[in-house]
Structure 1
């Protein structure tokens, strides 16, 4: 359908004239005859030779834009009024008319902007993005052409390639949508766009505004992609106080990228320096008093001609053509980025130790430091109070919650050797003096009924069982040969446990149990790792720490064996999901395993890169709902979204 200057869309919107055109569509100025107001209408125009499937994808993408923007009510986001579908099936979007130009136009006319002015623009852009992210919408194409300036108001537009939670992908596997110079490294690598990706694009936009050119450039889209993935941004020369914000937002690893709140704090401080006497960042708005005559292009008075650009570009059109799929020569493996990193708690001021424990209800995370224990709220990832200090401690090596969640075992190393404390988990404070001290204390584990705790002490060369309530030894000490360095209970009462070997011991007799686990790759030095929630499977790490062995506690036979990992990627402690279907293994590389097929699920999860050397045996935990994996590395505590692993 051709659109003339007098066309009446949906019997209501009088099309008056084009405001701008792009390769895939046109934005029209129109008059809403029912509500007597000026509006902007976006029309999608596709070539007749486009395949029907691709045509449907474009229609679906425009429908998505309407739904995405319609969910958002924020002064920094263009308001969607209506969606119209004509007889030929093409969607039209009726939206708020913005009396101003884009940031891209402003930069083309006047060049780079002062840092304080850019900070003010960035602050309003960020607020709009925060509002979108709060409703589950990721923009995916933040750039100067999609930033509109109307007086002192900054408006984010063109959600045409945005993603909404629950929406199916609209492109083929391996395709990238967005504008090359403003795409985040994770998007360039083929990963999903997230809120952190929008923050990277915000950083690239602000860099462009203050420096007059994008942070990465190249002769072709491919060369731009290579630069984004492998190079650092061009040095800034005019950013001034904005440098810290740009450096923080343009970090390639999204987990260490500046957060939205931290960015907002910095931009608020910088924007305050602008004061109230700075010129407006856009053009002043005006109110329409009625529709122009039919068939006559929109006219403005002399005042408008002096303040508005020649072509209003009410809605940035570059996003329409820029939404074309851009293919990389070597699409990434479909398993890459399957489990996105949700958060990263950087190194504590007190310095991390080796201990990590998740409360049974999944609400609280205990993390060992060099001087004590920190507690974190899992949902908000905020620290709960101050670090609880341990007198004389040099490092907290291990933390274990009792299954009932009432006690926390804290094993730390100090001047007098290792000490084992039992803490009240509710008050998060020590509960009496040290249970044991001196020598090497190892093999720490609560019995499934929470009534007993096993402790192995090299000074005494045996493993003991202690009653939690009375804080006294119970049963007969077990002298394991060789000395057990880790213990896993096999029965609810804590009478049977499996130690290194693997060997099964009975604390009531102090001798080996009559039934023993078979000789396997995990024998002779393998460390007992964990008991499945149903008590029917115990998993152990091989002597070389390069594979996992699964045993049946009913038949005392090996039932599974994982593949062997590389020598430099040894496996450490493991943790089951609440339903027992997934097993996480720690170490220098974090992995997920299917406990039924014994195959790895998805790719390796690589910890945050730091200058420090990662320890062997890094701890892991899985939240009760099975959706989040938590790992402790030398860099800090990482949260991974593993909801798609089930």
Structure 2
């Protein structure tokens, strides 16, 4: 028996058997000793990576969302009975449904038939209609949250509960809800979720049900998020009559997706080849997902990509050959010291990580001349309020917020870098491109961290995350942290990436910690539009 098995929660619910575990919490089959019935109890995980204020926000949001979900009464929705505290952490008490998840079925038995997918889809869309009518968004529709009851019942669970994190989510708590494979394009771009976002997730779930894998899954979460926002859909091969509906649900533009009512009508005729018009409820202007005109207009790829376990996300990196490593570390430590001491410096000592293309414009925001040497995948349009700059000395281009000022930090020529600073002078980005990337980006950050702390460049330093990753299929490492400046506390995100022996790229963002939530999207937007030279992009 585990340490938790047999435990009594809230003086009432006896934990009997662990029946599920995900990124947000563990689900137990339990006995309600007051009413003498079996229930499911979901206990949230206490992530060691989250600060106290972030945990408090997570817990309070969970309580509020679960209470909202309790308003839904529908046979295809798991009933939420109660929300109780267990050692300060909220526990959600739900109806117990003997079942397996659709995710488990796909994993163990492979894809289901189009007819079975249609049956499952009918239950899911009925649940979504009931939830949306009650003013509740699910925000984490995925195979793992679809219960296939032993009695044939289809039940959607975790309504409004997974508000903080998901199995593949790579963002700060509360920033991105749900597992990245099933997050709609508008949410990847930082937009507000709506009923159409749940319907996109329904489409992604149906796609996986018949194909065996999510529609836009790539090697990394960052690449998956970019694919969701910008790539064309690979049409399903095994969906049969469900193909038009699935493609319509996965359209990039939420306004062009079918309504829940139209989707339900299509799902009730699985043996008939539905037309695209029927799938979209007779709306005009609809196009299959992947049509270039459906490309997103505000990509914020990074907000959906970095691991959820890390509260803030940042990347930064500088790489040289081993002989120059000690000097490089010293240079970056010096830059951080300037950041802590002055507002403008604080904004320009940034580093960040990025991974997407941006439209071609000159530094003045005008279209660049044809024949550019920059070769990235077909980029989505620039985010609203940005213009694209082309730094010819660095050989890259990237989006910059309108009104930000270009500046050359001290030693910029030696380090081959450029900085842009916000009008307030407190927020800034720094881009660096150097020769000879090292073999291990993570070790690079570890060396920089050790040198900066040892030399006292980062007073009251706190590491939020440091880990290996990949960017544009290149080795990369992320480092994000906070430190105390002379007048305020700062927070930074940095990404270093590049193939060993090739160019080393660093994107860095810093801002006052108190203003981080308002400005962190800049890091994501720059990553979303960062364009590499053709030789590096091609391999």
Compute the TM-score of the two structures, normalised by the length of structure 1.
0.40
Q: Which has the higher helix share?
A: 2
Per chain length, whose mean CA-contact separation is higher, i.e. which structure has more relative contact order (CA < 8 Å, sep 6+)?
A: 2
TM-score by length of 2: 0.48
